Amino acid sequence: MEIITKNKVVKATLESLFSLAIMSLTPAIAAASEANLKIPNLSQEQNNLLLWGIVVCVLGMLFGLYQFTKVKKIRAHQSMLDVADTIYETCKTYLIQQGKLLCILFVFIGLCIAFYFGFLQKMPLSGVLLIMAWTILGILGSYTVAWYGIRMNTLANSRTAFVSLEKKPLKLLNIALDAGMSIGVLLVCVELIMMLIILLFVPRELAGSSFIGFAIGESLGASALRIAGGIFTKIADIGSDLMKIVFGIKEDDPRNPGVIADCTGDNAGDSVGPTADGFETYGVTGVALVSFIVLAVQPDLTGILLTWIFVMRILMIITSVASFYINRALSQARFSSKDDFDFEQPLTSLIWITSIFSIIGTFAVSYYILGPGSGVPVELENLWLVLSIIISCGTLGAALIPEFTKVFTSPNSKHVAEVVKASREGGPSLNILSGLVAGNFSSFWIGMVFFLLMFVAYYASGYGLSEIMIYPSIFAFGLVAFGMLGMGPVTIAVDSYGPVTDNAQSIYELSLIETIPKVKEQIQKEFNFKPDFDTAKHYLEANDGAGNTFKATAKPVLIGTAVVGATTMIFSLILVIKDVLGVQPEEILTLLNPYTIFGLLAGGCVIYWFTGASIQSVTTGAYRAVEYIKRNIQLDENASQKASTEKSKEVVKICTQYAQQGMFNIFITIFSFTLAFSCLSAPVSRNDSVALFISYLISIAVFGLFQAVFMANAGGCWDNSKKVVEVDLQEKGTDLHEATVVGDTVGDPFKDTSSVALNPIIKFTTLFGLLAMEIAISESFRNIAPYAGGIFLLIGLFFVWRSFYRMRIPTKE
């Protein structure tokens, strides 16, 4: 049955792919095709099924709140609770400052939305205001879940620290994992329930714009919180760690003013950033698939596939929570009677149980909704298996990628052991070189995993999808990313595990609990157990190593979804150029065209500039922090052994200042370069020049993927090499320990600043580039576009200059 004519197919192709691309990675602007996106009416049966989905989301939110209450009710010693409250107060100060920055950025974005939709697209004021409203809700979503994340983590950190004294390591693990599941499930449920509200209750003619506004807000909030948080946390971390070498003091010495700032940074970079990033990535991927289904699939099948997509998302909540309880029971049976075990084992089993359970559920529910006897059209009855295989590629990938990451970052890995061996004989020099080797090898293997997943999805898409949609391979790539994020609650949970364990170790030291008079008797009387201080410190250090490993595992998953989405968007841009200019892409997108080479070079330049600019912010900020700490640390015998709140706040202030300065320079540079290279690609006399911007975007995506994975895993390897020396070898204070501390300070901005921030950078550049290029090649603007491009290029170069020469460490004449 022919549903649409040939001309309509071409038009639908351009609209659907352009819509998918922009909404899949969107921190800024949307396109005309999105403004005209019409969500179809669903049948009563489909509406009822999705209404049950809202019920599941509400139950998921209640589960998250139950976990929150459960953790909060756990008792802890007041000395530890006081330190946790101090950390939370400094986190609040940081987040308030970030909220002000978001308000400033929203002004720019709001003006762009008003200009594009209101002036260029002639949309009524009510429509523009609706997009603005959902943009604000998207920002508030990212911002609110980030705030919830730090509140949950700063409750769990003190409880984890105190429970370590009980000599019950499984209980120690469960507190941090309860906190992580609370964040992960609530995050996904909040995002999904807002999307279901748009799908079910917003008028059809406005639903598409509402999805756009929501996605814009999510991405804006995540970008600011992720980049600035990454800079903040590593300034504090380096400032704190270097004092161990300079003054020979112990880990998390309360007299070190950088320790409280480091604890704040653990939440700013390892909780706020990933939580907001996960919320945004999970949301916009769904929006992308919704728009593709609406615009690229046969009209009589769109409602069915939309329902299937949302049922799959709801199913993942159920499988994640069920897997959590199954894993809890298995862990109880395996480890409850043990005084010591590898903390990575229960976390690894949770990921695999969730992946396997989710894949089984995907096939079963897809068969029920789409399979024979389900009542769907014949065209879909035979596709339930194909769709299940494609989405399961992503679900399997979310379990495989952590395994490949652990090969290079786990304390038990051979690469980490190699770094330790090299450090023993070669000091910091061979430590750093060995870590670089691990990072490079990890990029190869994880790149091969992405290649395999996308190839299988592409191959499977050839079995019948072309009969119901156009460009099925693009839909398949989107489903792979969707499947990776299907395990979102568990991925976020094991990622959030890290900052809890890191803070717990710091809180133990900052509380000075061992020095409190008659504290053993007090604990035995009030909490009914005899504390074991030596074993507690061992548990906390080992648990922190597991936290480091699983913080590393979530990064390639989020980075991978960005690159998969960028692939979709670049393909969409090619189709837009083909439609507007009437040229065959293969005629100009060739290595024989010099503009292609120019674009590849420019994109690589930007990735390496960004790496340097983000690390420069950390370097200068850490210099300022170390300078302040050296002048103000009090180590004499008569000085107070407690942390100074006033001095700690000053270090936090330094971290915040350089985080926001660095974020502003980076944002303006990326924004300007995107406009510059798109305008310089405008076809004034010939069409060859449009290849410049397309190859620029390809270069950003490819260089960005491998640079991010390399830096993330090299940093994780250095971090856990230090942990092996501290925990397994018990060689703190030795030359070997100092060598690994130096390596860890190099790895800090690698893994927690530059690598993770490349995720929103790739998304922003590719998305905003789609709109910028459409404007540049429009007939009314293309003649003046090169002049505008030259201006924006100068602006971008000026902020490149600022990112170093206004951020560099001052030199004395």
Q: How far apart are CA 775 and CA 19, in angstroms?
A: 16
What span, in angstroms and rounded, lies between the C-alpha atoms of 232 and 658? 7
The pLDDT, as a whole number, for residue 765 is: 80
Instruction: Give yes or no for residue 418 having a pLDDT over 90.
Output: yes
Indicate whether 234 pLDDT > 80. yes
For residue 69, is pLDDT > 70?
A: yes
Q: Provide Rg for the chain, Cα atoms.
A: 26
- pLDDT > 90? residue 215: no
CA distance 160 to 263: 14
Q: Do the Cβ atoms of 760 and 226 come closer than 8 Å?
A: yes
What is the DSSP-derived secondary structure letter of residue 810?
Answer: P
pTM over 0.75: yes
Rounded to the nearest 5°, which phi and psi values hold at 101?
A: -65, -40
What pLDDT is recorded for position 4?
Answer: 35
| pLDDT for 254 | 73
Q: Is the pLDDT of residue 36 over 70?
A: no
Q: What is the pLDDT of residue 641?
A: 65
Question: Where do runs of H (alpha helix) occur along 371-383?
Answer: 378-381
What average pLDDT does this structure show over 19-47? Answer: 51
Residues 116 and 128: their CA atoms lie apart, in Å, by 10
Q: pLDDT at position 565, please?
A: 64
Q: What is the pLDDT of residue 33?
A: 41
* Choice between 228 and 288, residue whose per-residue pLDDT is larger: 228
Dihedral angle of Cα 54, 59, 64, 66, to the nearest 10 degrees: 160
Instruction: Express each pLDDT in 768-802 by its tens digit.
Output: 777 777 778 777 778 888 998 999 999 999 999 99
At residue 37 the predicted structure's pLDDT band, cuts being 50, 70 and 90, is: low
The amino acid at residue 799 is: F
pLDDT > 70: percent of the chain = 90
pLDDT at 381: 80
Mean pLDDT, residues 666-673:
88
pLDDT value at residue 352: 93
Buried b (16+ CB within 10 A) or exposed e, 551-560: bbbbbbbbbb
Structure tokens that stand for 354 in this block = 């969730």
Distance in angstroms (rounded) separating the CA atoms of residues 152 and 711: 29
Distance CA 57, CA 184 (A): 12
What crossing angle do the helices spanning 204-246 and 755-776 adopt, rounded to 10°?
140
Most confident stretch, 108-122, 445-459, 540-554, 654-668: 445-459
Q: Which helix (H) or strand (E) holds 465?
A: none
Cα–Cα distance, 19 to 13 (Å, whole number): 10
Question: How buried is 744 (Cβ within 10 angstroms: 0-12 exposed, 13-18 middle, 19+ buried)?
Answer: buried
- Selection from 737, 704, 747 nearest residue 408 by Cα: 747
Per-residue three-class SS string for 261-307 = HHHHHHHHHHHHHHHHHHHHHHHHHHHHHHHHHHHHECHHHHHHHHH
- CA dist., res. 99 & res. 91, Å (int): 12
CA distance 26 to 763: 7
**Mean pLDDT across the stretch 372-397?**
86
Q: Report pLDDT for 55.
A: 92
Angstrom distances, CA of residue 464 to CA of 73, 371, 379, 469, 775: 54, 14, 8, 9, 36
Tell me whether residue 738 is exposed, middle or buried, using C-beta atoms within 10 angstroms of its C-beta: 0 to 12, 13 to 18, 19 or more.
buried
pLDDT of 673: 93
CA distances from 416 to 710, 711, 795 (A): 15, 15, 43
Nearest to 281 by CA among 225, 215, 355: 215
d(CA 635, CA 615): 30
Contact 130, 502 (CB under 8 A): no
Mean pLDDT of 422-435: 93
Which residues lie closer than 8 Å to 124 by C-beta, 6 or more apart?
none
Residue 469 DSSP SS3: strand
Q: Band the pLDDT of 812: cuts 50, 70, 90.
A: low
Round to whole Å and give the CA distance between 396 and 412: 23
Query: In this structure, which amino acid lies at residue 320?
Result: S
Helix axes 594-632 and 691-727, enclosed angle (nearest 10): 30
Average confidence score pLDDT of the chain: 82
Task: Give the model's pLDDT for residue 415.
Answer: 92
Q: Which of 327-331, 579-583, 641-645, 659-663 tops mean pLDDT?
A: 327-331
Asked if residues 722 and 737 have their Cβ atoms less than 8 Å apart, the reply is: yes
Give the CA diameter of the chain. 88
Choose the most confident range, by mean pLDDT, from 114-123, 251-260, 374-383, 402-411: 402-411
Pick 760 or 360 by higher pLDDT: 360
Residue 507, pLDDT > 70, answer yes
The lowest-confidence range among 102-106, 153-157, 171-175, 432-436 is 102-106
Q: Is the pLDDT reported for residue 204 higher than 80?
A: no
Structure tokens at 201: 């209750």
Q: Percent of the chain scored above 90 by pLDDT? A: 23
State pLDDT tens for residues 708-746: 999 999 999 998 898 899 888 888 888 898 999 899 889
pLDDT mean over 17-26? 32
Q: Is the pLDDT reported for residue 479 higher than 80?
A: yes
Q: Residue 255's Cα: distance from chain center in Å?
A: 34
The model's confidence at residue 27, banded by pLDDT at 50, 70 and 90, is very low
